[in-house]
């Protein structure tokens, strides 16, 4: 696994977890809070930012970093997954072709088009550090023909994204060490041959990094075997990004397979749903084996009502280090005060950052992770 990755915002230590700031914010946290959690970067979503506030606003503000007041790393995801979800919900809302996605957000809205070229052009307007090619996601239960079509479009679009990326780099005359990186996403559902074909043809085009896309987690928490297959095919010299893979035990497994970038809504969404992650033992001395190295606490549980203890004694997050008790956090959730979301989200993100620190400590000896 690579130890670090240089982006236009400095050195990113790998492996790294990027929380989803889909609409350019981690709900309830400001950028200083996020940095204090030990988080190195965030993922924003091109599709969502195009509808609000629009690329022109972000560009006019000096780019996504200035707009968010965040000087860490930023990945802009393409939005392919969200468009897939939109169309899966109702085919009346749009269609897919070799040219890209045609869609409307609601019935009666104007039609919008997201082409691969436009997707990259908009990400240049955001000026993100890592850009992601437009890809076409599928559901694992989709037919072989549908999976095949998704792979064909994903490869075709990745080629168009790369051409436009290179063209914009030349036009903007960006220095090589200040340029953004471009990642492509491997699709193919649970079909080994399609995954292999997609990975190999994307490698032929040549990208700065590669992602594993689609529905990776199936059947009783088992990681799909295709996750490992794809990692074996991808070049060891390029970063591998496991899109949307975020259960702590799955991050540990994927890091062992060679993936070094992760994003997921789990820590932030679960925090808002009163589900908090705590280590069962100190992560730096834990084997991180199985899923017993951590547990989840549900904060509406009555057992917290009179608990004077901090959420987690060893944690240095905003919530734990400032002396807030479990009883107080329970109370804040009960009365639905926004402070509950800030404290809980800070804690969960710190948990994820500590997990990544623990994996990085072992990165020289990956065999110790089981
Ligand atoms: Zn904490």
Name which of 18-32, 217-231, 244-258, 314-328 the model is least confident about.
217-231
- Residue 347 CA, ligand 1 centroid: distance in Å: 4
Q: How confident is the model over 6-31, as a mean pLDDT?
A: 97
Strand locations in 245-362 (E)? 261-264, 275-279, 294-298
Predicted confidence band of residue 301 (pLDDT cuts 50, 70, 90):
very high
- Residue 314 CA, ligand 1 centroid: distance in Å: 8
Catalytic residues: 77, 263
Write out the residues surrounding ion ligand 1, Cβ under 5 A: 315, 317, 319-320, 347
The angle that helices 192-205 and 225-233 make with each other, rounded to 10 degrees, is: 30
Output the pLDDT for position 252.
96
Q: How confident is the model over 281-286, as a mean pLDDT?
A: 93
- Residue 19 CA, ligand 1 centroid: distance in Å: 16
Average pLDDT over the chain, rounded to an integer: 94
Output the pLDDT for position 368.
42
Output the pLDDT for position 370.
38
| C-alpha dihedral sign at 336, 355, 70, 86 | negative
Output the pLDDT for position 141.
85
pLDDT in tens, 157-182: 999 999 999 999 999 999 888 999 99
- Residue 282 CA, ligand 1 centroid: distance in Å: 13
- Residue 298 CA, ligand 1 centroid: distance in Å: 14
Strand locations in the chain (E)? 4-7, 10-13, 16-19, 41-45, 73-77, 94-97, 100-103, 112-114, 130-132, 181-186, 209-212, 217-218, 222-223, 240-243, 261-264, 275-279, 294-298
> Does residue 77 carry a pLDDT above 80?
yes
Output the pLDDT for position 218.
52
Q: Nearest CA to 255 among 185, 356, 349?
A: 356
| C-alpha dihedral sign at 305, 309, 314, 318 | positive
- Residue 206 CA, ligand 1 centroid: distance in Å: 41
Q: How confident is the model over 67-83, as a mean pLDDT?
A: 95
pLDDT in tens, 108-148: 899 999 999 999 999 999 999 999 999 999 888 899 999 99
> Does residue 217 carry a pLDDT above 80?
no
- Residue 36 CA, ligand 1 centroid: distance in Å: 11
| C-alpha dihedral sign at 59, 61, 62, 68 | negative
Output the pLDDT for position 369.
42
> Does residue 219 carry a pLDDT above 60?
no
CB 223 within 8 A of CB 254: yes
């Amino acid at each position: 696994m690579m130890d670090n990755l240089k982006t236009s915002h400095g050195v990113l230590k790998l492996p790294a977890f990027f929380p989803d700031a889909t609409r350019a914010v981690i709900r309830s946290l400001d950028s200083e809070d996020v940095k204090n959690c030990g988080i190195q970067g965030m993922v924003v979503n091109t599709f969502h930012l195009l509808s609000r506030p629009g690329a022109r606003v972000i560009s006019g503000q000096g780019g996504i970093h200035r707009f968010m007041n965040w000087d860490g790393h930023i990945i802009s995801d393409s939005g392919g997954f969200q468009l897939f979800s939109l169309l899966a919900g109702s085919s009346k809302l749009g269609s897919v072709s070799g040219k890209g996605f045609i869609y409307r957000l609601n019935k009666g809205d104007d039609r919008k088009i997201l082409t691969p070229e436009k997707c990259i052009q908009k990400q240049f307007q955001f000026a993100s550090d890592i850009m992601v090619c437009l890809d076409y996601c599928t559901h694992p239960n989709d037919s072989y023909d549908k999976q095949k079509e998704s792979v064909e479009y994903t490869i075709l679009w990745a080629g168009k994204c790369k051409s436009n990326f290179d063209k914009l780099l030349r036009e903007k005359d960006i220095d090589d060490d200040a340029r953004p990186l471009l990642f492509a996403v491997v699709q193919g559902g649970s079909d080994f041959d399609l995954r292999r074909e997609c990975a190999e043809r994307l490698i032929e085009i040549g990208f700065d990094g590669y992602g594993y896309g689609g529905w990776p987690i199936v059947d009783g928490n088992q990681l799909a075997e295709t996750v490992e297959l794809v990692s074996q095919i991808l070049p060891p010299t390029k970063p591998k990004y496991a899109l949307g893979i975020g259960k702590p035990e799955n991050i540990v497994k994927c890091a062992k397979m060679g993936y070094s970038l992760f994003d997921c809504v789990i820590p932030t969404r679960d925090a808002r749903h009163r589900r908090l992650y705590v280590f069962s033992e100190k992560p730096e001395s834990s084997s991180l084996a199985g899923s017993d190295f951590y547990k989840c606490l549900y904060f509406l549980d009555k057992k917290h009502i009179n608990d004077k203890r901090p959420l987690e004694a060893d944690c240095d997050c905003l919530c734990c280090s400032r002396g807030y008790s479990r009883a107080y956090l329970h109370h804040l959730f009960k009365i639905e005060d926004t402070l509950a979301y800030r404290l809980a989200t800070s804690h969960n993100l710190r948990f994820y950052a500590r997990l990544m620190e623990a994996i990085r400590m072992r990165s020289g000896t990956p065999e110790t992770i089981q």
